[in-house]
Amino acid sequence: MISRVLKENKIRELRLLLERCENIVITCHVSPDGDAIGSSLAMYHVLNVLGKNVKIVTPDMLPKNLLFLPGAKEIVPFTKYGDFGRQLFANADLIFCLDFNAPYRVDKMADVLLKSKAKKVLIDHHLDPENFADVVISHPEMSSTCLLVFRVLCRLELFNQINKKAAECIYTGMMTDTGNFTYNSEDPDIYIIIAELLKKGINKDYLYSKVCNTHSESRIRLNGYAVSQKMQLFPEHQVALITLTQDELRKYGYEKGDTESLVNIPLSIPEITYSVFMRDDVEYIKVSTRSKGDFAVNRICESYFNGGGHKNAAGGEFRGTLDEAVGVFMSILDENDKYLKK
């Protein structure tokens, strides 16, 4: 048995909303990852079993390595099908907001989401959810929204409606948000749930391979170049920095997702406590940060890079040049030292 963590009153409210609704929209954060897509699709499959009319609308396109997930091709990306997406939000009587904590995380869809008259249910594991949903199931102590969706479904007595397709989607998000169970993955319930998903017929090795072993030659070369030529270590500050300019990205035929796990690589050096990656995306500088232990990178992203996230994985968007972003990074090294274990 897994531990009981969800509040009964929230489950009761959600059950009532589900009984009364017909048209459901599920949405998640911009640049969706395995957890955002996994939790959305898992909910989608179970609601389909219940006979609901349900659609997933994402703010933008899915990364290619998630397109194999069952149901992924039915997803409506707002950047491609704006009018259809708008219509779905307008006709919905219930909206699930999964894996994000604030309307701005759905990017250009925020207005459409907020204006919809549908009841909104937030299921998420990011800190400090903004007050925009009718039912808020927020558990920052959970390693993934997928884990939370599994728990919600169980408490709604829908365990039997979790079919193999839903199980595959849940496992994928649990896996990607914990770096394949290498961080935030001490909770014993994770492994009890994995056992249940295996009994539902998932093949975890196949899922790992589909999500992680899909790299193109150019991606591998870009990452190799970034590590060998662009990684700067600041051992006295226990930090690593990697930057990639537009020219470098173009030279290696960069495609969205190609630098997905680059920021993690320097963390495998024992002396490095946190790692920062900056990519020039023209419109802004995309900043990604990762850390080990108690060192919080979301504080850095919130304060200096217009973003946020979790203690050990956070990101943001810097409005300015790459050089300016590096300047900010350099200027806060001393301040960050205060939070390091020496």
What DSSP assignment string belongs to 239-276?
EEEEEE-HHHHHHTT--TTTTTTGGGGGGGSTT--EEE
* Minimum CB–partner distance for residue 331 and Mn ion (Å): 30
Instruction: Between 27 and 288, name the residue whose CB sits nearer to ligand 5GP.
Output: 288
Instruction: Between 142 and 162, name the residue whose CB sits nearer to ligand 5GP.
Output: 142
- 324: amino acid identity, one letter: E
| Contact mark string toward ligand 5GP, 117..136, x via CB under 6 A | ---------x----------
* Minimum CB–partner distance for residue 260 and ligand 5GP (Å): 7
What DSSP assignment string belongs to 162-188?
--HHHHHHHHHHHHHTTTTTTSS---H
* Minimum CB–partner distance for residue 101 and ligand 5GP (Å): 8
- Alpha-carbon Rg of the chain, whole angstroms? 20
CA distance 76 to 86: 11
* Minimum CB–partner distance for residue 37 and ligand 5GP (Å): 12
Answer for which of 75, 262, 314, 325 binds ligand 5GP (CB under 6 A) is: 314
Residues β-bridged to residue 25: 55, 95
- Per CB under 6 A, does 308 bind ligand 5GP? yes
Instruction: Between 96 and 277, name the residue whose CB sits nearer to ligand 5GP.
Output: 277
Any idea which residue has 């079919």 for tokens?
163
- 332: amino acid identity, one letter: I
**Number of residues this chain uses to bind ligand 5GP (CB under 6 A):** 11
Residue 293: helix, strand or coil by DSSP? coil
- Per CB under 6 A, does 109 bind ligand 5GP? no
List residues near ligand 5GP by CB under 6 A: 126, 288, 307-310, 313-317
